[in-house]
Amino acid sequence: MTRYAAFLRGVMPTNAKMPEVKKAFEGAGCSDVKTLLASGNVVFTARPTSETALQKKTEAALLRRCGIAFLTFVRPVEALRDMLALDPYRAFRIDPTAKRVVTFLLKQPTAKPKLPIEQDGARILALKGREVFTAYTRTPKGPVFMTLLQKTFGKEQTTRTWETVQKVAG
């Protein structure tokens, strides 16, 4: 059995209750299911299989149980731990007040953008496989980093803070 993490796009306390999300994952055949925070982070155990198969299975279960289809990004917990240990931010000078975020993509981009890309305090620093590493400082212009990420990589993505990924990888 393998321990996995799922990051659900668009989940918040107003549109999905974590006990229902947990039950959906259990209904999809997952065990030892735990939800973290109230923003669509799930850690679970399942038989080793492809991330795509788990994504489709859990998305269908979420739709049945919660009535909403949430785009789901699945990664083995061990891969998250490896990513955290390598700390891709180490290679860059980052303002100590900047927030570090990891964006999970469904597919590896076919065209690699020339990085870093900077806009209004947001910097896309690195792309490693299907993970994008960004740092941003708050600005009166709002969540500029989200607009920059969508413009660069499309909408099939979800973003978590570095601290959230650390909690999920436990």
pLDDT in tens, 80-103: 999 999 999 999 999 999 999 999
Q: Does residue 160 or residue 38 have the better pLDDT?
A: 160
Within 11-158, residue ranges assigned H as helices are 18-27, 51-66, 77-86, 144-153
In this predicted structure, what is the pLDDT of residue 133?
A: 98
118, 101, 107: which is closest to 159 by C-alpha? 101
Are residues 37 and 164 in contact, defined by beta-carbon separation less than 8 angstroms? Answer: yes
The residue-averaged pLDDT of 29-53 equals: 95
In this predicted structure, what is the pLDDT of residue 6?
A: 98
Are residues 8 and 65 in contact, defined by beta-carbon separation less than 8 angstroms? Answer: no
Q: pTM surpassing 0.75?
A: yes
End-to-end CA, the chain: 17
Are residues 4 and 45 in contact, defined by beta-carbon separation less than 8 angstroms? Answer: yes
In this predicted structure, what is the pLDDT of residue 13?
A: 84
In this predicted structure, what is the pLDDT of residue 139?
A: 85
In this predicted structure, what is the pLDDT of residue 141?
A: 85
Peptide bond into 113 cis (omega under 30): no
Condensed to tens digits (0 to 9), the pLDDT of residues 116-145 reads 999 999 999 999 999 999 999 988 888 889
